Structure 1
Amino acid sequence: MDDRWNVAPDPLQYLREASEKYSANLICPYDETLKRHVRFVERMSQQQRNVFEQTCRKIVSPGEMSVIGDWCESVSHGTETERHVADSIRQLLWFLMELAEDGMPPFDEILRGVEIPFLYQKDAWNWDLPKDLRYIIGPALYFGERFPNESKMLHFFERSSRSEQEWLTSIATRIGENHDWPRISQWLSDSKSLHTLDVWRLGNLMDLCDMDCFD
């Protein structure tokens, strides 16, 4: 158990187990038989899936989204530990939205029509990215807002929480191991989406942080 979660208020402690299960599986292992990296969604046990489902149903209960959003916003300038937990909650919510976008039952049904304003969910899926590249949407929106220019990017390690650093590293690792950057780069060249700027910012941030994911 991550003791940093002790800073979260009691009404949000139910998110802890699901968040920790997701955080422990951010890196996609390489399967020698399949000759590819295997996403967590493909490796989930039934017990893990049950935890995510129960948590997801609680999240969409009346008023719950406001409680989560209000606390995450209230600690945006709080301690590193508070920001770490808030970031972990956001990452969990992005993961659940990804499950829904992938059409995985029952998450697609539970989250149908649900808006998460503090995650920019309403417009997040109005992208023309290939389905298997949509895992970069959450990080692109998240880091693009917090580190929108080079001057802020250069101070990433000073101004980010450990959770943010781990998340960015995991995304860079996934891009690099899957050799996804050439396809992302092609999308940036071809797409007319207004969100290409967010992806450019994500790429620039990883580059300035010297993360090797551009092969």
Structure 2
Amino acid sequence: MKPWSEFEEAIKPHLRHVRTYCNYLTASKWESEDLLQETLLRTFKHYRDNGILNHPRSLMYKIARNIQIDAHRRRRAATVPIDEALQLPHYDANYANVRGMLEWMAEHLSPRETEMLLLAEVFDYSYQDIADALQCTVPAVKMVLHRSKSTLRKRGRQPETGVSRSRMGKRRNAAPLPFTVDRWTTALMTGEL
């Protein structure tokens, strides 16, 4: 049997458990998949170097945990304490990108559409939670989200045509007041509403 086949047979019964453990250790699905892949690579390297996997699940748990600890240390060394970051959000490297994206959304969506879209897509609110917060119905939330996403897809594909804002229609062109864009920028930068 080839080394890869032996390795695959050794880890296969434990893969579901290790995937669950990676989900537990990380903040998102993508980070979890990256962690799982890196864990499998390092486990295979260990197998290739030693020729045997004693207690594969324990080994993969240990490797995943160590990878996550190393990643946390790297991030901690590169981040600013949250109190300091809250004081100076304009100096964050991502601030301009976040603010620019929100201003672009504000040009194409109403304040209500922008708020619903951010609550649903960024802060993972359920339709019912959005309806409760904005005092509307769940079907209204679904309709607004569908329309907002459709509008942004169309605007994202079309080059600027030089159409004046007055010809775009009043509902779409009613951009949030500056404090609204500021409020959402701060919420996106801090991850809290």
The TM-score range, normalised by the shorter chain, is under 0.3
Q: Normalising by structure 1, what TM-score?
A: 0.22
Higher share in helix: 2
